[in-house]
Amino acid sequence: MIEVTSFGTQNWLITPAASAVHEAPPGSISGQKWLLALSGVALVNLQGLPSGKWHRDQVHISPDVSGPLDYAIRRFSIPRPRGREGADYSTGFQVDQWAPFVGLGSVFDARQAVNAGFAVDAWRHAQFGAGTDAFSGQPAGNIFTGVVADAGASDSDAWLYRVGYSFTLEGRIVFTVTTPVA
């Protein structure tokens, strides 16, 4: 699996999700639903194989969600747990619904070829994270950890350099207890 560690660009938007007609408003800010949109370009650098064979691999795209979550926490005065983030608790996004998309962004073939090819065949959520809610002590699951895309390139001098992504998520901001390492 290719773990994306470099991004050409990242954009985001986070806003409270509106309640439906006749839906009770959340009892507290921790019950507030949010709409989080993440988009950008992930640097993949997947080289094809010779003889017209495909080099296929999974690409794990995990954009930084700390920027939008910190913005919402500051903007709407969401209380944080006691302690230090990273040491005592982690901030995450618990997904209720989502709509991901990953597509070709930038490709290159060094020489003339009749058999070069590039693909993004499918995408799905990466394994969701889980933890213990820092306020309630209850289990917290479906924590966003990114998307896995199936990508490929064919031809020895062919490169799939970048993929574009757009993830629209609806869910809640959660704080989970950081488990001490023994």
pLDDT in tens, 3-30: 998 999 999 999 999 888 888 888 888 8
The whole-model pTM stands at 0.88
- Measure the CA angle with vertex 136, ends 134 and 141; round to 5°: 70
What contacts 58, CB < 8 A, 6 or more positions away?
1, 2, 148, 149, 150, 151
At residue 178, the pLDDT reads: 86
Instruction: Supply 177's token pair.
Output: 């207890």
Confidence of residue 168 (pLDDT cuts 50, 70, 90): very high
Q: How many domains does the chain have?
A: 1
Flag whether 148 is in a domain: yes
Task: For residue 81, give every residue at least 6 positions away whose Cβ sits within 8 Å of its Cβ, in sequence order, or none.
Answer: 88, 89, 134, 135, 175, 177
Q: How far apart are CA 173 and CA 182, in angstroms?
A: 28
Q: Does residue 49 lie in a domain region?
A: yes
Q: Is 26 a member of any domain?
A: no
Do the domain assignments include residue 45? Answer: yes
Average pLDDT over residues 61-72: 95
Residue 82, amino acid: R
Strand partners, 40: 10, 165
Q: Could you tell me if residue 57 is inside a domain?
A: yes
> Does residue 53 lie within any of the structural domains?
yes
Residue 27 inside a domain? The answer is: no
On the 0-12 / 13-18 / 19+ scale of CB atoms within 10 A, 36 is buried
User: In the numeric block, which tokens belong to residue 60?
Assistant: 């794990």
Query: Is the residue at 182 inside a domain?
Result: no
How much is the mean pLDDT over the chain?
A: 90
Contact 141, 132 (CB under 8 A): no
- Nearest C-alpha neighbor of 17 from the set 1, 37, 46: 37
Overall residue count recorded for the chain in this entry? 182
Name the DSSP class of 21. T
List, for residues 94-137, the tens digit of each pLDDT value. Answer: 999 999 999 999 888 877 766 778 899 999 999 999 999 999 99
152 lies in which domain range?
2-18+32-177
What gap in Å lies between CA 51 and CA 65, rounded to an integer? Answer: 41
Residue 182 has pLDDT above 70, yes or no: no
Alpha-carbon 8 to chain mean position? 15
